[in-house]
Amino acid sequence: MGAMSCLLDQARRGEAAALSALYRRFLPGIFGYIATRVPDRATAEDLTSEVFLKMVEGISQLRASDEAGFAGWLLQIARLTVAAYYRKREHLPALVSLDPGDQEEAASGNSEALVRVYLGMDPAEIVEAQDEWHTVVTAINALTEEQRQVLVGRFILGYDVATVARMIGKKANAVKALQFRALHSLHRLLGKRGSSEQASFSPTRQRGGKP
């Protein structure tokens, strides 16, 4: 029995240490997946919390016994959580406050979360980087769900093709094709921003630092 199967068994039995270990292992992947789906960091953090709370509530009924199966289950929860967020937002009327004080408050709440990311950049660069990130989110949302899951599995969770194939229930060749199509579509949608030296959607590069 592998280490991950052991960990999953312990988590199913309700051991807090196993839950913590699973959380730490999968937080980057789930946060990364959600952060590429929603426009602001605060929402990404809220939805990530929701996903992990659902994980804690539902793990006793989980049938997956390996890492790929568990990652697939968790990403499925994340996908449904993001979908519910957009569904809820669709039904809410867009409220624009006429009070300038409210607008400032909203802006400061948003920038507080971004301060951590854009520390040391000037305001113009922050706005530019923020706009670029919105473009990335729009581009990622234009991909298919399978393409998004392949990107998360390969580049955030760091899995090989075989593991990603088990995670999404496809063959290795199909994963390679999905990976190619996902990156190709992103490249097209981002207008070759990612590959050109002078402009990149990575704010760290704009500052001249290494990513």
Per CB under 8 A, 192 contacts another protein = yes
Q: Which stretch in 64-72, 91-99, 101-109, 196-204 sits in contact with another protein by CB under 8 A?
A: 196-204
Task: Report d(CA 164, CA 89) in Å as an integer.
Answer: 31
Q: Which of 93, 100, 123, 211 binds another protein (CB under 8 A)?
A: 211
Binding mask 21-60 for another protein (x = CB under 8 A): --xx--xx--xx--xx----x---x--xx--xx--xx---
User: What SS3 state is found at 189?
Assistant: helix
32, 71 Cβ separation under 8 angstroms: no
Q: Which of 12, 25, 79, 205 binds another protein (CB under 8 A)?
A: 205
Three-state SS sequence of 20-61: HHHHHHHHHHHHHHHHCCCCCHHHHHHHHHHHHHHHHHHHHH
Contacts of 44 (CB under 8 A, 6+ apart): 31, 34, 35, 37, 38
Residues forming contacts to another protein in the complex (CB under 8 A) are 14, 16, 19-20, 23-24, 27-28, 31-32, 35-36, 41, 45, 48-49, 52-53, 56-57, 113, 116-117, 133, 136, 151, 154-156, 158, 160-161, 176-177, 179-181, 183-184, 186-187, 190, 192, 194-195, 197, 200-205, 210-211
